[in-house]
């Protein structure tokens, strides 16, 4: 990692980047597991490295399945609660396990769990001391679709209670759906940060492809090429008009007006690259 | 410290480890019985050098301790569960000390029973000698445990390095290089045995009881401090 500076506020922040970009390294530095050779990481204004009392206020779930297979799920959560000095331990354990919806499996050894169940029990252990900050590295690994929905609701609930949640994921749709703010890490550097659409706006140098389905594609292509917001146009074999624009905001206004004036019926207008994947694909190329 | 201590006991009391330790710990007793039944029964000096020093203090005790101490923190580094402990609001000594205590709790009974029975058989029920041998063996367990817990924390090859240390340093060099004896856990234990029962073990040149105790304390405390320091400074996987 180099030249990375950012602040994180309450809410859900997604840490995003291609494999090997440095997401896990960054999270490890943020949690004090790894030391930065230069610079500082502070949480609540305190250095995080070699500062054990700070972990009363932080919950960390690493990407690895760091469980003791011989241990029952409830015993694991209880042990983590005890290590973190939780008062009224049994009630806190009950609450954490209920949050991840694993009460039925809590008395089974964890080596009998599926991967998704182990992740959820680890999340319960991360939540047992009611931390103000949650740092989750690839938390949805191994989760099935139902568990993903449950996890999403849980994170939203935790964020609504005022917690600060940082999560990394290589599944872009998850970050897009979950995170209020996105940090894009590329080649060990912070490539962009902010809301997803703010990041998109910041990337105004990037050509933007829009696919238009209409009743008269060739006529629309001939008309649209004259717009100031359009750089290039072509018609796909399936009859879709693909417009290349560097000024998509103007295009959003001009295209419907043009279609109306030309009596062309627009059936569908969709961005071809309005996803996080396309955004950091572009950033990686840079 | 309780959760880490209980976790360590559970982690290190696997069936195969306990089986290996049982086999190893029974060897000195078997050897003692065989030696005493032979026509050329050894003198006290020969028995001390061959069985108590070279075998019990220099081989069996370190091997038994190595089998569990290297895993105490080493396995947690390898399977990445160490982060569960280091991401908790506990001082690092509250991780290292219960880990060390857990190792000693498991290894000590095996070595204590082995040392006591071996000396009881060899010295025909001499309680003083048996207590001296057992006590010195337990001190050896503590020192080896402290050293090997640290070794497991700094190297992924702790078992291999530990074996080399046992064979080369404790077994080979400390046997005939007199200066090395001042830096040998095996010899601290044997010197302690001499100090605790000078009547039975009166031969040879050794450290005094006080000097042996001081050296033992320095080694035990030194490696414990190194483990705590390592836990504070290492990048935890």
How many angstroms separate the CA of residue B154 from the nearest CA in chain A?
A: 15
**Cα Dmax for chain B:** 63
Give the span between the Cα atoms of A24 and B90, in whole angstroms.
Answer: 24
- CATH classification at residue A250: 3.30.70.100
How many angstroms separate the CA of residue B75 from the nearest CA in chain A?
A: 11
Which residue numbers of A have CB closer than 8 Å to B's CBs? 28, 31-35, 50, 52-56, 58, 60, 62, 64, 66-68, 70-71, 79-80, 82-85, 125
Which residue numbers of B have CB closer than 8 Å to A's CBs? 2-4, 7, 10-11, 79-81, 83-92, 232-233, 235-237
Note the helical H segments in chain B. 2-12, 15-37, 44-47, 61-78, 82-86, 93-122, 127-154, 158-164, 174-176, 185-196, 209-233
Residue with tokens 């003692």: B32
Residue A12: which H helix or E strand, with range?
strand A11-16
More confident position, A201 or B170:
B170
Q: Which long-range contacts (CB under 8 A, 24 or more apart) does B121-124 make?
A: B121/B29, B121/B32, B121/B33, B121/B36, B122/B32, B122/B35, B122/B36, B122/B47, B122/B51, B123/B44, B123/B200
Mean pLDDT of B214-222: 96
Is residue A61 within 8 A of residue A31, CB to CB? The reply is no
Q: Please indicate, yes or no, if residue A17 is contained in any of the structural domains.
A: yes
Tell me, yes or no, whether A127 and A193 share the same domain: yes
Is residue A165 within 8 A of residue A155, CB to CB? The reply is yes
Contacts of A66 in chain B (CB under 8 A): 79-81, 83-84
User: How many beta carbons lie within 10 A of that of residue A286, not counting itself?
Assistant: 10
Yes or no, beta carbons of B81 and A67 under 8 Å apart: yes
Tell me, yes or no, whether A173 and A245 share the same domain: no
Q: Which residue of B has its CA nearest to A52?
A: B89
Domain encompassing residue B124: 2-233
Give the span between the Cα atoms of A263 and A277, in whole angstroms.
Answer: 35
Boundary residue ending a domain (A159, A184, A201): A201
Bridge partners, residue A137, by sequence: A168
Among B89, B98, B229, the strongest candidate for a mutation testing the A interface, having the largest count of A CBs within 10 A, is: B89
pLDDT (tens digit per residue) in B179-192: 777 889 999 998 89
Confidence of residue B205 (pLDDT cuts 50, 70, 90): low
What percentage of chain B carries pLDDT values higher than 90? 68
Residue A248 has pLDDT above 60, yes or no: yes
Q: How much of chain A is helix, strand and coil, in % rounded to 5?
A: 40, 20, 40
Give the span between the Cα atoms of A207 and A129, in whole angstroms.
Answer: 47
Contacts of B79 in chain A (CB under 8 A): 66
Report the residue from A66, A68, A79 with minimal CB separation from B83. A66
Q: Please indicate, yes or no, if residue A1 is contained in any of the structural domains.
A: no
Residues 6+ positions from B235 with CB-CB distance below 8 Å = A28, A33, A34, A35
Complex ipTM more than 0.85, yes or no: yes
pLDDT (tens digit per residue) in B61-82: 999 999 999 999 999 999 999 9
Give the span between the Cα atoms of A75 and B48, in whole angstroms.
Answer: 47
Tell me, yes or no, whether A207 and A144 share the same domain: no
Closest of B197, B157, B204 to residue B49, by C-alpha: B204
- A201-210: burial string, b at 16+ Cβ within 10 Å, e else: eebeebebbb
Contacts of A68 in chain B (CB under 8 A): 7, 10-11, 81
Paired tokens of B230: 């390592």
How many angstroms separate the CA of residue A66 from the nearest CA in chain B?
A: 5
Is residue B153 within 8 A of residue B227, CB to CB? The reply is yes
| Per-residue pLDDT, A29 | 94
pTM of this structure: 0.83
Give the span between the Cα atoms of B225 and B88, in whole angstroms.
Answer: 20
Yes or no, beta carbons of B83 and A70 under 8 Å apart: no
Tell me, yes or no, whether A261 and A144 share the same domain: no
User: How many beta carbons lie within 10 A of that of residue A267, not counting itself?
Assistant: 9
Q: Please indicate, yes or no, if residue A60 is contained in any of the structural domains.
A: yes
Contacts of B83 in chain A (CB under 8 A): 33, 60, 62, 64, 66
Q: Which residue of A has its CA nearest to B90?
A: A52
Q: Please indicate, yes or no, if residue A191 is contained in any of the structural domains.
A: yes
Tell me, yes or no, whether A27 and A132 share the same domain: yes
Residue A252 has pLDDT above 90, yes or no: no
Is residue B147 within 8 A of residue B219, CB to CB? The reply is yes
N- to C-terminal Cα distance for chain B? 22
Q: Which residue of A has its CA nearest to B82?
A: A66
Domain encompassing residue A65: 11-201
Tell me, yes or no, whether A37 and A140 share the same domain: yes
Tell me, yes or no, whether A213 and A99 share the same domain: no
- As a whole number, the mean pLDDT across chain A is 88
Range with the poorest average pLDDT among A57-71, A184-198, A237-251, B156-170: A184-198
User: How many beta carbons lie within 10 A of that of residue B77, not counting itself?
Assistant: 19
Tell me, yes or no, whether A149 and A219 share the same domain: no
- As a whole number, the mean pLDDT across chain B is 91
Tell me, yes or no, whether A197 and A207 share the same domain: no
Tell me, yes or no, whether A134 and A120 share the same domain: yes
Is residue B1 within 8 A of residue B37, CB to CB? The reply is no
Count of the separate structural domains present in chain B: 1
Boundary residue ending a domain (A201, A226, A259): A201
Tell me, yes or no, whether A109 and A249 share the same domain: no
Residue A164: which H helix or E strand, with range?
strand A164-168
Q: Please indicate, yes or no, if residue A84 is contained in any of the structural domains.
A: yes
Tell me, yes or no, whether A196 and A209 share the same domain: no
Please count the residue pairs, one from chain A and one from chain B, whose beta carbons lie less than 8 angstroms apart: 62
Contacts of B4 in chain A (CB under 8 A): 83
Boundary residue ending a domain (A152, A170, A201): A201
Yes or no, beta carbons of A79 and B235 under 8 Å apart: no
Give every strand in the sheet of A208-214, ordered side by side. Answer: A230-235, A241-245, A208-214, A266-271
How many angstroms separate the CA of residue B142 from the nearest CA in chain A?
A: 26
Residue B202 has pLDDT above 70, yes or no: no
Q: Please indicate, yes or no, if residue A3 is contained in any of the structural domains.
A: no
Give every strand in the sheet of A11-16, ordered side by side. Answer: A58-61, A133-137, A164-168, A11-16, A181-186, A189-194
Q: Please indicate, yes or no, if residue A259 is contained in any of the structural domains.
A: yes
Count of the separate structural domains present in chain A: 2
């Amino acid at each position: 990692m180099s030249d990375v500076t950012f602040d994180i506020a309450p809410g859900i922040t997604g840490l995003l980047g291609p494999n090997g970009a440095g997401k896990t390294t960054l999270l490890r530095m943020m949690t004090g597991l790894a030391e930065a050779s230069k610079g500082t990481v502070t949480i609540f204004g305190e250095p995080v490295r070699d500062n054990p009392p700070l972990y009363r206020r932080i919950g960390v779930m690493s990407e690895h399945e760091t469980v003791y297979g011989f241990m029952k799920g409830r015993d694991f959560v209880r042990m983590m609660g005890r290590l973190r000095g939780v008062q009224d331990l049994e009630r806190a354990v009950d609450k954490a396990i209920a949050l991840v919806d694993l009460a039925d499996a809590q008395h089974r050894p964890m080596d009998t769990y599926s991967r998704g169940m182990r992740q959820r029990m680890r999340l319960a252990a991360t939540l047992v001391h009611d931390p103000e900050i949650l740092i989750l590295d690839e938390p949805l690994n191994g989760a099935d679709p139902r568990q993903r929905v449950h996890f999403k609701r849980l994170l939203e609930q935790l964020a609504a209670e005022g917690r600060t949640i940082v999560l990394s994921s290589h599944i872009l749709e998850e970050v897009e759906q979950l995170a209020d703010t996105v940090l894009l890490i590329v080649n060990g550097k912070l490539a962009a940060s902010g809301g997803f659409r703010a990041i998109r706006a910041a990337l105004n140098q990037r050509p933007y492809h829009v696919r238009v389905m209409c009743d008269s594609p060739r006529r629309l292509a001939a008309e649209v090429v004259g717009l100031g917001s359009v750089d290039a146009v072509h018609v796909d074999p399936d009859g879709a008009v693909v417009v290349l624009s560097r000024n998509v905001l103007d295009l959003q206004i001009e295209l419907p007006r043009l279609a109306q004036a030309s009596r062309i019926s627009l059936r569908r207008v969709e961005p071809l690259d309005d996803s996080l994947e396309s955004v950091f694909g572009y950033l990686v190329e840079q | 410290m309780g959760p880490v201590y209980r976790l360590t006991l559970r982690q290190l009391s696997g069936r195969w480890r306990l089986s290996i330790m049982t086999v190893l710990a029974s060897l000195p007793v078997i050897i003692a019985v065989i030696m005493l039944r032979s026509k050329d029964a050894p003198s006290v000096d020969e028995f001390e050098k061959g069985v108590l020093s070279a075998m019990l203090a220099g081989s069996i005790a370190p091997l038994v301790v190595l089998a569990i101490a290297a895993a105490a923190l080493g396995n947690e580094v390898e399977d990445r569960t160490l982060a569960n402990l280091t991401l908790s609001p506990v001082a690092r000594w509250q991780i290292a000390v219960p880990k060390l205590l857990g190792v000693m709790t498991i290894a000590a009974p095996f070595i204590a029973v082995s040392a006591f029975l071996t000396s009881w058989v060899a010295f025909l029920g001499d309680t003083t000698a048996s207590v001296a041998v057992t006590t010195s063996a337990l001190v050896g367990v503590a020192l080896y445990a402290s050293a090997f817990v640290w070794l497991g924390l700094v190297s992924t090859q702790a078992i291999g390095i530990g074996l080399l240390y046992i064979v080369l340093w404790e077994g080979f060099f400390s046997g005939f290089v007199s200066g090395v004896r001042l830096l040998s856990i095996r010899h601290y234990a044997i010197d302690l045995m001499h100090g605790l029962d000078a009547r039975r073990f009166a031969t040879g040149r050794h450290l005094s009881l006080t000097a042996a105790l001081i050296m033992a304390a320095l080694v035990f405390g030194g490696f414990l401090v190194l483990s705590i320091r390592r836990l504070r400074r290492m990048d935890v996987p």
